[in-house]
Structure formats: C-alpha cells, structure tokens
Amino acid sequence: MPSSSPAMKKRSNAKRAVSLYIHIPFCESKCPYCSFYSTAMAPGKVENFLGALEAEIDLLKAAHKVLPDVRTTYIGGGTPTVLGPSHWVRLIDILEKGFRFLPGNEVSVEANPGSISRELISLWKEWRVTRVSVGVQSLRDEDLFLLGRSHDAGRSAEAMKIVTEAGFSLSADLLFGLPGQDIRGWHESLKGVIGAGADHVSVYQLALDPGTPWGDRPPAGLAEGYPLYRWAQYYLEKKGYRQYEIASFAKAGKWCRHNVVYWLGGDFLGLGPSAWSCNGFERSRNVIDLDEYCSITGRGELPVCFSEILEGDVLVSERAILALRTRWGIRSRKFSALFGAGSLDTIMQRLEEIPSHLLKRSRGGVYLSREGMRVGNSIWQMLLP
C-alpha cells in the first residue's frame, strides 16, 4: 500500500475542530486491575497539576498561535471526582480561557460513586457538562469487595440517582469476567443500571494487564467472559439499547460522540500526564509521571515523550480495525477516498478469510455481525499487516 495519498496529506494540513481529553491523574486508591495512570492525592499535588495543565495549554498556544475549536470534551482519569469544588472551579476557568467550545459541545465527566457529590453536580450543571459516566462496575457488593472498590452497590444507586435527577445523560460502566461471576449476578447489574435510568451502558471484560497486581498474580475463579458478553448483547438490545461499538450500548441518539471520534479516526487533543493526541496522521503521548509532567511544563517545554507518523500498512490496518469496532464498520467510499482503492481492496481480501456469519455486507461497506462482535479480537488479528 502507498505510504500516503493526496487526501491524507490534505487532511493532515487542514485546520479542524478537535475533541478534547483531560486526564485527571488522581485516585483515592488503586484498583488491583487498573492500568490507567493515576497517583495518590497529597498536599499541593492538585495545585501543581492544575498549574502544569494551564502551562501546557499556554505552550500549545505559543506553538500553534491559535488552538482549534473544541467539538467534544471528555474529562477522565484517574478519578475526576476526587477533585474538590474549588479545584473544579479553577479547572473550568483554565479550560474556558484556553479554548473555544463549539455550540452543542458534548462534555462528559467520569465519576466514581464513592466521591461524587451534589456540590460537584451543581458546578457541572452551571458549566457545560452534558454526560456523566459513573464507574459502577457491579451492583453486587461481593464483586465490589473483590475489585477493591471504595463504594458499595447502595452508593452506586445513590450516585446514579443524583446524576439523573440533575438532568444529565447517565452512562454506567460495568465489568464482566469477574471471579465467581455468573449470569444471574451479571443480569442483576445490567438490570440495575437500566432501572436507574442509564441511557448508555459500557461493558468491559476484566483485563489482566502486566504491571498491575492482578496482571502479575491473577485471582482464582475468573468467569468465562463469552457467555456474559453474549447475555449483555441479548438483554440490552431487548431493552432498547443498540450496540454501536464493541463494548458500548446506547438508546437512540445517546452514544458518546467523543469516543466515536477515536474509533472513526477523528482528531483529538489530550492534556495531562499520559494523555494521547492525534492530529491528522500524527500521534503523540505525554509523559506518564505527574512530577515529570509538572517539571517539564515548568521549564517551558511541551510534555510530549513519544510521537509517530501513521502511514502505510500500519495506518490502513489500524483504521480498519477501529472502524470495525463500531456498528458503522468500514464505509467503502470514505475509506477509498482517504487511503486509496488499493488499500480498500487489500482489507477486503483479508476479510474474505473470515466466516460469512461474522460479517454483514452492504453496498456501502462491511461491518461485524452480533456474532462477529463476540470474537472481534480474532478478526482484528487477521487485519494486522
């Protein structure tokens, strides 16, 4: 495949609105399965982080003269809700001074049931927040205890009630494949978040990543994920939630527009330690450590530790895999315009080796069937260069 095309070059040079991600690098405690970067709260650390975040934005402005407009915003972590109201006031001020938010901007905030408060909810309501993603994980206390979570099922129910009563769109995250988990318990959690008014449900299989306590020493009795995932597909779709991505189900019009940008190859700007950015076909990552992040920005330097230009087979395969994560799949005309007809032909030839019941084809392209979503990892392996 060619390493570039006129469409690719044109896209990489154009000024476009971006999706903005802010990484809040703090947690009350570290869950044994979590591989996302976070550190413990300590006196002065939040203030140092907010100062470094403001410095990073100023450095980007100096480098690019004008920052792009923002079309969606996602504040994640870590645990954004461990920040107190006064810190949130400053964070909001930093973002408002730094960026122009387009009308209709979707603003999502991750929330831990154990640290969400009505005072934070009021602040978010006064600002731009439209969605709150609550890390429920399970509505069974025995699961939450094993996971090392700081909340119980009752607190999760209360948190979801606070969110919906304030008029936010509620997203609930759930984990499956937990030690000792069965269909009955999994169904209880799915039913519970639906009953609480979630219009978006994300289901993630427990991952045992190297470098985490459970990754290095897996717990006993892990449940098989396949039947639990299959049940989620059946039950959530029966209740009116359409699967629009491998792990994401939403009522009509309630999918997370910010995450769709990642999957469909849009531009995003990540700020904070460990945050990723992608501008056209250039991808970069910030340093992972908070102290290093603060030190580098304090010296007047951008905190980027890694960057690469995406091109050739690697780019084409990655974009095909990301597209196949979604209900829209690979759209032939758009894919050909970006990467060339030859690249599309190569991807389609690789897909010919996949059993027909795992794919659905239309005049516009190809996407995974419900059965295909269940074995997505195997399919994506076949698309690697």
Q: Is residue 4 part of a domain?
A: no
Residues of the chain with pLDDT under 70: 1-15
Which of 204, 228, 263 terminates a domain? The answer is 263
pLDDT at 280: 87
CA angle 159, 161, 166 (to 5 degrees): 100
pLDDT at 150: 85
Which of 263, 281, 299 terminates a domain? The answer is 263
The phi, psi pair for 361, rounded to 5°, reads: -115, 145
What gap in Å lies between CA 176 and CA 124, rounded to an integer? 30
pLDDT at 15: 59
Residues 83 and 167 in one domain: yes
What gap in Å lies between CA 361 and CA 356, rounded to an integer? 9
Residues 228 and 81 in one domain: yes
pLDDT at 272: 98
CATH, residue 162: 3.20.20.70
Q: Check residue 53 and give left, alpha or beta (phi > 0: left; psi -120 to 50: alpha).
A: alpha
Residues 54 and 181 in one domain: yes
Q: Is residue 339 part of a domain?
A: yes
* Domain interval for residue 166: 16-263
Residues 121 and 251 in one domain: yes
Q: Is residue 120 part of a domain?
A: yes
Say whether the peptide bond before residue 78 is cis (omega within 30 degrees of 0): yes
Supply the pTM of this predicted model.
Answer: 0.94
What gap in Å lies between CA 356 and CA 99, rounded to an integer? 47
Check if the beta carbon of residue 72 is closer than 8 Å to that of residue 105: yes
Q: Is residue 280 part of a domain?
A: no
Which of 227, 247, 263 terminates a domain? The answer is 263
What gap in Å lies between CA 299 and CA 48, rounded to an integer? 14
